[in-house]
Amino acid sequence: MIIADKAVLAGTARDASGPGWSSLRLLVKSDGMGFSMTETRVFPGAVLNLHYKNHVEACYCIGGRGTVVELESGTSHDITPGVLYAPNAHDRHEVHVAGPDPLHLICVFSPALQGDEVHGPDGSYASS
């Protein structure tokens, strides 16, 4: 049984952040589940240009409002609580925050993240 308490994980190597975002890694590769799960916040005013070349992800919104833009097509999707988005084909995408509150997401990555990754210059995480 794995028990992950965000109060215990906060401030550890599993508490990653970068310009405009923070991500608490609740499950990571060393947990042996084959996927990772994060609690991620994208802060107001942030625009994240992302391209997960080595992972697929699914993000479920539990708070805030934002937009995800598919960069190849320009298609824009509103993200609000209760909406999931999953760039399942390694889609290049941008995440924009709308409003005064952070976009609050629960994200799953496959393969699992190590736990301390931050985005590279191209918006990706390195291979796990």
In 10 A of CB 64, how many CB atoms? Answer: 21
Q: Omega before 121 cis (within 30°)?
A: no
Question: Using H for helix, E for strand and C for coil, what is the string for the chain?
Answer: CCCCCHHHHCCCCCEEEECCEEEEEEECHHHCCCCEEEEEEECCCCEEEECCCCCEEEEEEEECEEEEEECCCCCEEEECCCCEECCCCCCCEEEEEECCCCEEEEEEEECCCCCCCCCCCCCCCCCC
Q: Tell me which of 53 and 103 has the higher pLDDT.
A: 103
Give the pLDDT confidence of 5-39 residue by residue, as tens digits: 999 999 999 999 999 999 999 999 999 999 999 99
Give the pLDDT confidence of 50-71 residue by residue, as tens digits: 988 888 999 999 999 999 999 9
The residues spanned by each domain of the chain are 38-111
Q: What is the CATH number of domain 38-111?
A: 2.60.120.10
